[in-house]
A and B are shown apart, each in its own frame.
Chain A
Amino acid sequence: MSEFQPKIVAFCCNWCSYAGADQAGLRRLQYPPTARIVRIMCSGRLDPVFVLEAFRYGADGVLVAGCHTPTDCHYTSGNFKAERRVLLLRKLLEQLGLEPERLRLEWISASEGEKFARVIEEMTQKLKELGPSPLKSA
């Protein structure tokens, strides 16, 4: 049996983190093929439903990535909204029987290709330890 390859849905803001992921590509940094990026204009656009649905449809992990706090957000303060939502969502995930570590929040700037690659690497490792999402078999 082949090794478990987790699936991560990565919500990236258009300005910093999506561009940061592009930067990883431009620099040909290699990281596990586990993440699927969904572009949103701002991390603050993240509706909690998007995260819950991702888990419902079988994601093993979800990454929310935006511009660095406190001052980098292209829209001034959207990243703070994202942070609040992720903190609450983690509690909710726990109540649903999911490990809160499956949801990760990171600030990744447009020049931080290395950080993007590292975050996916670390998340993949963590999710391999946790195993497939319990919602998958449900």
Chain B
Amino acid sequence: MPAGTPRVGVFLCKCGGNISDFVDLEAVKRAVEKIDGVVAVEVDEHWCSSPAGKRIKEVIKEKNLNRVVIAACTLNMHQPHFMEVLQEAGLNPYLLERVNAREQCSWVHKDSPKEATEKAIDLVRGGIARAKRLTELSPIVEKINKNVVVVGGGVAGIIASLELAYGGYRVFLVEKSPTIGGRMAKFSKVFPSLDCASCILTPRMAEVESHKNITLLTYSELQEVSGSAGNFKVKILKKPRYVDPALCTGCRDCTTVCPVKVPNEWNMGMDKRTAIYIPFPEAVPRVATVDGEHCLYLKHSKPGKPVCGKCVEVCKAKAINWNQKLEVLEVEAGAILLAVGSEVFDARRVPQLGYGLYKNVITSMEFERMINSDGPTGGKVVNPVTGETPKVVAFIQCVGSRDEKYNPYCCRIGCTATLKHAALLKEYVSKDIDIYVCYNDMRTVGKGFEEFYRRVRDMGVKFIRGLPSEVKQKPDGTLSFNVFDTTTETLYEVNADLVVLAIGLVPSPDIEKVAKLLKLSRGHDGFLLEAHEKLRPVETLTDGIFVAGSCLGPMDIHDATSEAMGAASKVMGFLSAGEIVKEPIVAKVNEDLCSGCRVCVSVCPFDAIKMEEKGEGKFVAKVDEVSCKGCGLCASSCPTAAITTQHFTDEQIRAQVRGILVGT
């Protein structure tokens, strides 16, 4: 069903001045209206608006258009809307061509309107030439699998999994650590309400464990993902924990006899844990894990000559199983939701502030663990040098954040986290502690945050607008620094027993890993890139892959859970349709031209092309439309031009190039 002799309608968008302030659209109109096949050229303020959409439909009908060119913003905006407009006018939506006159023209050539107009004319000519060769296509409809793989068991992953599970979807929650909970599980209290973090989080963790729709895979990592939106095949690597989770009662007897002591990552290395361990009392699952890197039995035993094995002797449940091996699980899922989180900035990178040199310079994360009743000091805030309650505590803000040398962005949590720490010191430790907060700007933008800031000021915490350049330790062990307060224009010398560095959030290696595995884009800050900052904040540009939480950028718990719920709703909306409509941008074989050489089979990255016997020893290539992703490697490699990619045929691309350069 060819769409007939081309009758092209060209719609030029002013974009409220975004385009028309720099590109003379009347000149563009004059330049293209005489082109063979063009039967209508119209200019409008906003073609994306609803009345303008109506107008496009009218022109399609009045002028009997069979091709539409819209020169406006990038096609990453409004494409589904414009396709629908064509459809509603009875035109196949693949007869639409978009010309990028904004992001790739008017916005980048503001100083040269004449040249910008010439460029726009070339681009529209290219678009018209391509449009004339577009053909009607039908989307490929596929059934989808309704399972979801959620990667990351921090607060975002937990909330998203629960939303999905209660919505009736089967969830596989993959977490690399032995327990879910993430960074939030390490917090004592949360700002600005100062309610207890674990009181909020641990019941939800328990729900994850007991929910019939959730399969919890802790100590597991994403290994490989194949397939596409609606039908992913996900390989998950399950690391051996050498403990049978069905037998382990979580009694922790093993941890009392294990002779190995290694830095405890749960407490930011401030104390030691054993080689067999349960990270914290409320861990989910509450099952011991043997750290294979440090366990004496696993490291030193020889056949017939076991070393140590004290945990086996003491375990009444007989849960320890040295025979566990790495397992690879294969899961089929329609959607993947990434909530892999972030990590905290390494304060050692700013040596002038003394972290790593002086024991009484600690990070805000260490402070969190210290003030937490299940932390290394049992909730007592102490000067690590003396072991006593500090009399003067100084907080230094923006460590590693808002600094071109480290990270230019704002960490978004440091200000309010420090306010929380100061309030906790005053309210739970002693109101007599002298507290200084050295800051750049106090950014308290959340709900109730500014009121909280005022409350902390009223507690007598002293705020100095300025950051010290160096922290020194005096012979008596106290810390000292000079700081210039830009509000009073005074240089202060601060002497403190304890200095707390407010560290920000940075992208973790997990972000890089999933980005590589799933071919996702990252921003220049290293965090994952959302499909659209404002309109599609919890989707990626790859269909079927959704994203939430601080792997997108620094954020607090409120924002992470909002995004998690948003992403979970997006996943449910996506899966509830039961089928996915796939773009028909796939390879197509002209069997008459195919010589059976198999070059296409060898270049296809997705194994989507098979040879089919046509009798008498003749083989021709056959494309599996479901596996084909439309890259076109086969089309550009085929020596007889027998394969082409629909919507990106040689003819269409070549016509566009010609149109740009010579007009038609």
A interface with B by C-beta (< 8 Å): 5, 7, 9, 15-16, 19, 21-22, 24-26, 28-31, 33, 36-42, 44-47, 49-50, 53-54, 57-59, 71-78, 81, 85, 109-112, 117
Chain A residues touching B, majority SS: loop
Task: Judge whether A57 and B657 touch: CB under 8 Å.
Answer: yes
List 7 extra interface pairs beyond A24-B108, A53-B654, CB under 8 A.
A30-B111, A33-B119, A44-B633, A47-B650, A54-B661, A73-B519, A78-B633
Task: Judge whether B645 and A30 touch: CB under 8 Å.
Answer: no
Q: For the complex, what is the distance from the CA of A36 to the CA of B116, rounded to whole Å? A: 11
B30 interface hit (Cβ, 8 Å): no
Q: Which of B541, B606, B636 has the most CB of A within 10 A?
A: B636
In the complex formed, the residue of A with least CB distance to B112 is A33
Q: Which residues of A contact B115 (CB under 8 A)?
A: 5, 33
Instruction: Jot down 24 A-B pairs with beta carbons below 8 A, ordered by A.
Output: A5-B115, A15-B521, A19-B521, A19-B541, A25-B74, A25-B103, A25-B104, A30-B108, A30-B110, A36-B119, A36-B122, A36-B123, A37-B100, A42-B632, A45-B631, A45-B653, A49-B650, A50-B653, A74-B631, A75-B629, A75-B633, A81-B636, A110-B529, A110-B541
B656 interface hit (Cβ, 8 Å): yes
Task: Judge whether A36 and B660 touch: CB under 8 Å.
Answer: yes
Task: Judge whether A44 and B658 touch: CB under 8 Å.
Answer: no
Q: For the complex, what is the distance from the CA of A95 to the CA of B105, rounded to whole Å? A: 34
Task: Judge whether B648 and A45 touch: CB under 8 Å.
Answer: yes
Q: For the complex, what is the distance from the CA of A85 to the CA of B415, rounded to whole Å? A: 52
Query: Which 9 residue pairs spanning A and B have beta carbons closest together?
Result: A25-B103, A45-B632, A75-B631, A33-B115, A57-B661, A42-B631, A110-B521, A25-B107, A76-B605
In the complex formed, the residue of B with least CB distance to A109 is B521
Q: Which of B108, B118, B542, B653 has the most CB of A within 10 A?
A: B108
Instruction: Name the contact of B76 in the complex, choosing from A16, A19, A49 (C-beta under 8 A).
Output: A19
Q: For the complex, what is the distance from the CA of A7 to the CA of B658, rounded to whole Å? A: 13
Q: Which residues of A contact B190 (CB under 8 A)?
A: none
Task: Judge whether A41 and B632 touch: CB under 8 Å.
Answer: yes
B524 interface hit (Cβ, 8 Å): yes
Q: For the complex, what is the distance from the CA of A29 to the CA of B523, rounded to whole Å? A: 17
The 8 A CB mask of B632-645 against A (1 = contact, 0 = none) is 11011100000001
Shortest Cβ distance from residue A55 to the other chain B in the assembled complex, whole angstroms: 10
In the complex formed, the residue of B with least CB distance to A67 is B519
Interface residues in B49-105 (C-beta closer than 8 Å to A): 74-76, 100, 102-105
Shortest Cβ distance from residue A127 to the other chain B in the assembled complex, whole angstroms: 15
Q: Which residues of B contact A24 (CB under 8 A)?
A: 103-104, 108
Task: Judge whether B657 and A9 touch: CB under 8 Å.
Answer: yes
Shortest Cβ distance from residue A68 to the other chain B in the assembled complex, whole angstroms: 10
Q: For the complex, what is the distance from the CA of A76 to the CA of B103, rounded to whole Å? A: 27
Q: For the complex, what is the distance from the CA of A72 to the CA of B112, rounded to whole Å? A: 34
Shortest Cβ distance from residue A6 to the other chain B in the assembled complex, whole angstroms: 12
Task: Judge whether B632 and A117 touch: CB under 8 Å.
Answer: no
B126 interface hit (Cβ, 8 Å): yes
B interface with A by C-beta (< 8 Å): 74-76, 100, 102-105, 107-112, 115-116, 118-119, 122-123, 126, 516, 519, 521-524, 529, 541-542, 585, 603, 605-606, 629-633, 635-637, 645, 648, 650, 653-654, 656-658, 660-662
Task: Judge whether A9 and B660 touch: CB under 8 Å.
Answer: yes
Task: Judge whether A25 and B631 touch: CB under 8 Å.
Answer: no
Q: For the complex, what is the distance from the CA of A36 to the CA of B129, rounded to whole Å? A: 14
Shortest Cβ distance from residue A59 to the other chain B in the assembled complex, whole angstroms: 6
Task: Judge whether B631 and A58 touch: CB under 8 Å.
Answer: no
Shortest Cβ distance from residue A81 to the other chain B in the assembled complex, whole angstroms: 6
Q: For the complex, what is the distance from the CA of A40 to the CA of B662, rounded to whole Å? A: 20
Shortest Cβ distance from residue A94 to the other chain B in the assembled complex, whole angstroms: 21
Task: Judge whether B635 and A47 touch: CB under 8 Å.
Answer: yes
In the complex formed, the residue of B with least CB distance to A73 is B519
Instruction: Name the contact of A74 in the complex, choosing from B102, B110, B519, B637 (C-beta under 8 A).
Output: B519
Task: Judge whether A22 and B76 touch: CB under 8 Å.
Answer: yes
Q: For the complex, what is the distance from the CA of A85 to the CA of B635, rounded to whole Å? A: 14
Shortest Cβ distance from residue B190 to the other chain A in the assembled complex, whole angstroms: 32
Q: For the complex, what is the distance from the CA of A22 to the CA of B650, rounded to whole Å? A: 24
Q: For the complex, what is the distance from the CA of A25 to the CA of B541, rounded to whole Å? A: 18
Q: For the complex, what is the distance from the CA of A91 to the CA of B524, rounded to whole Å? A: 35
Task: Judge whether A40 and B648 touch: CB under 8 Å.
Answer: yes
Q: Which residues of B contact A15 (CB under 8 A)?
A: 519, 521, 541
In the complex formed, the residue of A with least CB distance to B585 is A41
Q: Which of A16, A29, A33, A45 has the most CB of B within 10 A?
A: A33
Q: For the complex, what is the distance from the CA of A46 to the CA of B102, rounded to whole Å? A: 25
Q: For the complex, what is the distance from the CA of A77 to the CA of B109, rounded to whole Å? A: 34
Q: Which residues of A contact B606 (CB under 8 A)?
A: 75
Shortest Cβ distance from residue B249 to the other chain A in the assembled complex, whole angstroms: 44
Q: Which residues of B contact A33 (CB under 8 A)?
A: 105, 108-109, 112, 115-116, 118-119
Contact A49-B605, Cβ < 8 Å, known A26-B103, A33-B119, A41-B632: no
Q: For the complex, what is the distance from the CA of A28 to the CA of B103, rounded to whole Å? A: 8
Q: Which residues of A contact B605 (CB under 8 A)?
A: 75-78
Q: Which of B115, B529, B632, B654 has the most CB of A within 10 A?
A: B632
Instruction: Name the contact of A111 in the complex, choosing from B524, B636, B658 (C-beta under 8 A).
Output: B524
Shortest Cβ distance from residue B540 to the other chain A in the assembled complex, whole angstroms: 11
Instruction: Name the contact of A58 in the complex, choosing from B523, B645, B661 (C-beta under 8 A).
Output: B661
Instruction: Name the contact of A9 in the complex, choosing from B105, B585, B633, B661 (C-beta under 8 A).
Output: B661
Task: Judge whether B102 and A25 touch: CB under 8 Å.
Answer: yes
Task: Judge whether B122 and A111 touch: CB under 8 Å.
Answer: no
Contact A57-B662, Cβ < 8 Å, known A33-B116, A38-B656, A77-B605: yes
Q: For the complex, what is the distance from the CA of A74 to the CA of B107, rounded to whole Å? A: 27
In the complex formed, the residue of B with least CB distance to A55 is B661
Shortest Cβ distance from residue A138 to the other chain B in the assembled complex, whole angstroms: 14
In the complex formed, the residue of A with least CB distance to B633 is A44
In the complex formed, the residue of B with least CB distance to A31 is B108
Q: Which residues of B contact A73 (CB under 8 A)?
A: 519
Q: For the complex, what is the distance from the CA of A78 to the CA of B645, rounded to whole Å? A: 14
Q: For the complex, what is the distance from the CA of A30 to the CA of B105, rounded to whole Å? A: 10
Task: Judge whether B650 and A40 touch: CB under 8 Å.
Answer: no
Instruction: Name the contact of A47 in the complex, choosing from B107, B126, B529, B636 (C-beta under 8 A).
Output: B636
Q: For the complex, what is the distance from the CA of A26 to the CA of B160, rounded to whole Å? A: 31
